[in-house]
Amino acid sequence: MKTLPALQQAIDAILATDWQRRKGVKVPEAEDVRLGNDAVELDATVLYADLADSTGLVQGFKDWFAAEIYKAYLMSASELIRNNGGVITAFDGDRVMGVFIGDNKNSSAARCALQINHIVTQEINPRIKKRYANTAYELRQSVGIDTSSLLVARTGVRGSNDLVWVGRAANYAAKLCALRDGPHASIITEAVYSRLTDKTKFGGNPLRNMWEKFTWDELGIVAYRSSWRWQPE
């Protein structure tokens, strides 16, 4: 345990030490980055999948029921992140973070969001209702996605540390989850939308745009939202 003088010295060292930066070719794990001022630069797309109103869930229902909902949602979202080529980088209570890299990272993340919406509305909720016919609970969720350059560093202390993802994509993706609006469970920035393939932009017969343009009032920028579902294979 560090005393106050030792903490002061450690803070000074962090602020005074030059950063060692290198380009990343894969999503790093904690052991790939040193605890000092060492960082990996990554061009990546970040996805946050977030369970809605988890406070109401844990306050209004039995703890074992809430645990089942958490597990069903986070397991499904995590599997779909991996199935679409993403890497699970963090769990934060009721949400999971996935990172996508490569030429198709934006389309892969957007498809993943639509698949999560499918699993929740067409698989999880019907099964909840079948198992607990008298419950009023319906799982709601949202997925936020942005893309940018990221600086990935390792933070904490020896024996207890993890990666921190510094950059717009991680911040915006987390914030976009709070913009859930009725059926629009998938929300992406214009930077992501502009890089989507036609297959992840248009659907239906006849083809129509699956994404609706709107203004993100908090920042005054354009974003896109969707209520569409994509059935996983």
Overall size of the chain counted in residues: 233
Q: Is 115 left (phi over 0), alpha (psi -120 to 50) or beta?
A: alpha
The helix/strand/coil state of 200 is helix
d(CA 87, CA 47): 10
Confidence (pLDDT) at 1? 63
* Mean pLDDT of all residues in 76-82: 96
d(CA 134, CA 81): 32
Nearest to 165 by CA among 150, 177, 179, 182: 150
- Per cent of the chain over pLDDT 70 is 99
Amino acid at 147: T
What are the residues whose beta carbons fall under 8 Å from the beta carbon of 73, sequence distance 6 or more? 49, 51, 94, 120, 124, 139, 141
Confidence (pLDDT) at 124? 96
Strands (DSSP E) found in 52-140: 87-92, 95-100
Side-chain-side CA neighbours of residue 172 (13 Å): 26
Confidence (pLDDT) at 115? 97
Domain edges within the chain = 19-226
pLDDT band at 206 (very low <50, low <70, confident <90, very high): very high
pTM: 0.93
The CATH code of domain 19-226 reads 3.30.70.1230
42-77 pLDDT, tens digit each = 999 999 999 999 999 999 999 999 999 999 999 999
d(CA 219, CA 223): 10
